[in-house]
Amino acid sequence: MAKAFKLPDLGEGIHEGEVLAVRVGVGQAVNEGDIILEVETDKAAVEIPSPYTGTVLEIRVKPGETVRVGQVLMTFSEPGEQPEPAIEPATAVAREAAVPDSAVAPPAPGLRQGPVPASPATRRLARELGVDLAQVPPSGSAGLVTADDVRAFAAAGKPVEAPAAAPAVPAAERPPRPPVPPADLPDFSKWGAVERVPFRSIRRATARQMSRAWAQIPHVNSQDTVDVTRLEAFRRKHKQDVEALGGRLTVTVFALKAVATALKAHPRINASLDAAADEIVLKKHYHIGVAVNTEEGLVVPVVRDVDNKSIKELAVELHTLVQRAHARKIGLEEFQGGTFTITNAGALGGWTFAPIINYPQVAILGLGQGRLQPAVVKRESGLAIAARLIMPAVLCIDHRVLDGADAVNFLKLFKQIMEDPDELLMSLI
């Protein structure tokens, strides 16, 4: 009997993706765990493993096509089963009913629906430990259950309770609807040559996220400048040591550590607003997103537990994340769970700017390029004018949760830490 493979749940809030590549062909034999598709979602390209061992009967999608969670992408025959003749793509959609939802056996109560993505080695481990894979919470991309997931589940020694039905999404968390329908565009080709480029993937996801944030969050920003002259001397002194470890010692690395310290002193900035419950969620962890400009658009991978990592560790981890983000080799889970975001336009030569808050966070820090400027400095002989490396910093806040005083006090502490490398080292203790 033919078995249908549907696009699995790809992560929190993700309902669709774009097919980047189809790795198999009709009539090809595949093993469970083999990569059969590559799908791009809001922020990452995800490799989709086959949940079956068998032969590909139909491929119902093609590169460039947008697919939704639950949509049938392929069908497979059982091992040893005589494959049916290949179905032409033109008739595949018309044959959607050929493999009804009932082709997949309904799950027992408390189990996940559909086949469980896992490698053969993971399945063998589950059998050895007496673990039902359908009850194991997955941690891998595209819902893949890993060997570590199985071991953790076995160590817990009890089954996972059946998940409750998903509650209705609170109105405050729904994507905003435009107050009026989009206006019809004129025919621009009347005035000259035009080119139409698909508005999808990262660019479309960014548009949705920014529209949601701008529509729901009353933005207020506070600006200051940071004298990073001493910090730059410190950075140059130690950058080769960090490069020898495989990292890059950038201003953003120091900003990560300074921000984590400032967030501990101002916990309401490390928060989210639950408008439906009339509560502010104060987070006791410090997972900081860093905006990365890639050829496909802006992405924000998250550096976790910044407060517990050294400058060297952060330099190596951030450099690795940035490289993998550019190569589109980064998992969806690495974009999730951020509590605060830093965006630094300095590498591009940008000066001051006011970024949009990364919803559902309540603040974002925008940094610009450090530039030599005349500044008043204190010397033993008195005040003097000297060339100093000055960097702009803008903190944008959600005025529903925070006030201007919160932003000013946060920036004052951030400025104090960044201007004095000794203070930065003391903040690590």
Residues 219, 238, 326, 399: which is the catalytic one? 399
Query: Which candidate, 387, 386, 388, 342, places its Cα nearest to that of 368?
Result: 342
Q: Is the confidence at residue 323, as pLDDT, over 60?
A: yes
Counting residues of the chain whose pLDDT is more than 70, the rounded percentage is: 81
**Confidence band, pLDDT 50/70/90 cuts, at residue 3:** confident
Q: In whole angstroms, give the CA distance from residue 358 to residue 356.
A: 6
**Confidence band, pLDDT 50/70/90 cuts, at residue 165:** very low
Q: Is 399 a catalytic residue?
A: yes
pLDDT, position 173: 46
SS3 sequence of 114-140? CCCCECHHHHHHHHHHCCCHHHCCCCC
Q: Between 2 and 103, whose confidence is greater? A: 2
pLDDT, position 195: 92
> In the numeric block, which tokens belong to residue 262?
């400032």
> What are the pLDDT digits (tens) for 328-386?
888 888 999 999 999 999 988 899 999 999 999 999 999 999 999 999 988 888 899 99
**Across residues 65-71, what is the average pLDDT?**
85
Q: In whole angstroms, give the CA distance from residue 24 to residue 100.
A: 22
Residue 378: φ, ψ to 5°? -90, 130
Q: With contact defined as beta carbons under 8 Å apart, do 37 and 22 qualify? A: yes
pLDDT, position 17: 81
CA angle 283, 392, 407 (to 5 degrees): 35
Domains of the chain, first to last: 1-104 (2.40.50.100), 108-159 (4.10.320.10), 220-426 (3.30.559.10)
Which range is least confidently modeled, 116-130, 211-225, 379-393? Answer: 116-130
How far the first Cα of the chain sits from its last, in Å, is 63
Q: With contact defined as beta carbons under 8 Å apart, do 349 and 371 qualify? A: no
Mean pLDDT of the chain: 83
> In the numeric block, which tokens belong to residue 108?
């027992």
Q: Is the confidence at residue 167, as pLDDT, over 90?
A: no
Q: In whole angstroms, give the CA distance from residue 398 to residue 415.
A: 21
> In the numeric block, which tokens belong to residue 283?
């987070």
pTM of the model: 0.66
- DSSP-based three-state secondary structure for 390: strand
One-character DSSP codes across 37-80: EEEE-SS-EEEEEPS--EEEEEE---TT-EEETT-EEEEEEPTT
Most confident among 35-39, 89-93, 299-303 (mean pLDDT): 299-303
**Confidence band, pLDDT 50/70/90 cuts, at residue 97:** very low
Q: Is the confidence at residue 198, as pLDDT, over 50?
A: yes
**Confidence band, pLDDT 50/70/90 cuts, at residue 117:** confident
> What are the pLDDT digits (tens) for 212-254?
899 999 999 999 999 999 999 999 999 999 999 999 999 999 9
Q: In whole angstroms, give the CA distance from residue 365 to residue 353.
A: 10
Most confident among 12-21, 114-123, 209-218 (mean pLDDT): 209-218
Query: Which candidate, 306, 319, 316, 321, places its Cα nearest to that of 255?
Result: 306
**Confidence band, pLDDT 50/70/90 cuts, at residue 99:** very low
Query: Which candidate, 159, 137, 156, places its Cα nearest to that of 146?
Result: 137
Q: CB burial class (10 A; 0-12, 13-18, 19+) of residue 164?
A: exposed
